Amino acid sequence: MEVMKNPKETARKILNAVKTVPVLSSSAGRILQIIDSSNPSIAALVNIIRNDSPLTANILKAANSAFYGLRSEVSSIDQAVPLIGIDEVVRIALRSGVSDVFEKELTGYKGVAGEFWKHDLRAAIASHKIASYGRIYISPEIAFTGGLLHDIGKAIVSSYLGDVSKKIVEAIDRGVVKDFHEAEKRLLGVDHAMVGFEVARHWNLPEILQNIIRYHHTPSEAPEMFKPIVYCVHLGDILAMMAGYGTGSDTLYYPLDDRYSDFIDLSEDELHLLILEIDEKFEQVNY
Ligand SMILES: [Fe+2]
Ligand SMILES: [Fe+2]
């Protein structure tokens, strides 16, 4: 198989492919900048949304969905945004702003179309919840957004994995390679976290999101200032996979770095409870 013979060449091809990824919609980009500000305000979000009619329509649709069970119709964005909350705004903006990427079928990971988004959403919900257990302050909104975006590199890596993912899983089971992340690096010369980081740079995402994506499988390598939030999303990702929501054949072939406890104050019992809570929340928002 070509990819196995020449990882350097494959890495070059993959990194070139990143440059062809469609740019992020300008409203999604601006919304992410607001989330990254020290005090993300609803008013600022409303201003951005108002100038984007498809996004306005999607947000009003969400606010009027059965989930909120309102008697009268929400017709203004000023009412809709506080009602659905910041996480929902980010979710909707990203889904419409980069939909092609998220809707992709991850054939290389033997994933089913739509599963990718579900995994990311679960990881996002988990990361938001974990943020509140931070030993120092961790922004729940950034953790949520990082959770949504952490595996974005897979959308590109997937088409280069070909049919080797089964072989990777066998190699891990035999102890030949450590984990899926390591196997990607060996076979393709680059892994989905690094490719995701390149996508994040291509999209001009805030630095904190770039770092979450880059180090989500290797949190101990993250720059010190980003470690708390990187560990938060690292744990959120693993919890989403433990709950049975991965992106395909690679699920559960990534180790948990238990040094997360330096940054997150969560007992094992609390962790188990959290998995149930994530389930519950996911069922609510996944319409
Ligand atoms: Fe990942
Ligand atoms: Fe993941």
Summary mean pLDDT of the chain: 88
CA of 56 to the centre of ligand 2 (A): 29
Quick one: pLDDT band at residue 167, thresholds 50, 70, 90?
Answer: confident
Question: First CA to last CA across the chain, in angstroms?
Answer: 40
- Asked if residue 91 lies in contact with residue 40, where contact means CB atoms within 8 angstroms, the answer is no
Please identify every residue whose CB atom is under 5 Å from ligand 1, which is an ion. Answer: 151
- CA–centroid distance, 85 to ligand 1, in Å, is 26
Give per-residue pLDDT as tens, 110-162.
Answer: 766 667 788 899 999 999 999 999 999 999 999 999 999 999 999 888 888 87
pLDDT digits (tens, 9 = 90+) for 219-236: 999 999 999 999 999 999
pLDDT at 179 over 90: no
The residues, any chain, with a CB within 8 Å of residue 195's CB and separated by 6 or more, are 14, 15, 18, 153, 156, 157
pLDDT value of position 286:
58
Measured from the Cβ of residue 174, the count of other Cβ atoms closer than 10 Å reads 8
pTM of the model: 0.91
Cα(239) to ligand 2 centroid in Å equals 10
Distance 53 CA to ligand 2 centre (A): 31
What are the residues whose beta carbon lies below 5 Å from ligand 2 (ion)? 151, 237
Domain map (residue ranges) of the chain = 2-22+98-285, 25-97
Q: Phi and psi (nearest 5°) for 244? A: 95, 10
Residue 4 has pLDDT above 70, yes or no: no
Under the banding of pLDDT at 50, 70 and 90, the label for residue 217 is: very high
pLDDT computed for residue 2 by the predictor:
44
Give me ligand 1 centre to Cα 249, in Å.
12
Task: Return the closest-CA partner of residue 184 out of 112, 101, 253, 235.
Answer: 253
Residue 192 in contact with residue 151, Cβ under 8 Å? yes
CATH architecture assigned to 2-22+98-285:
Orthogonal Bundle (1.10)
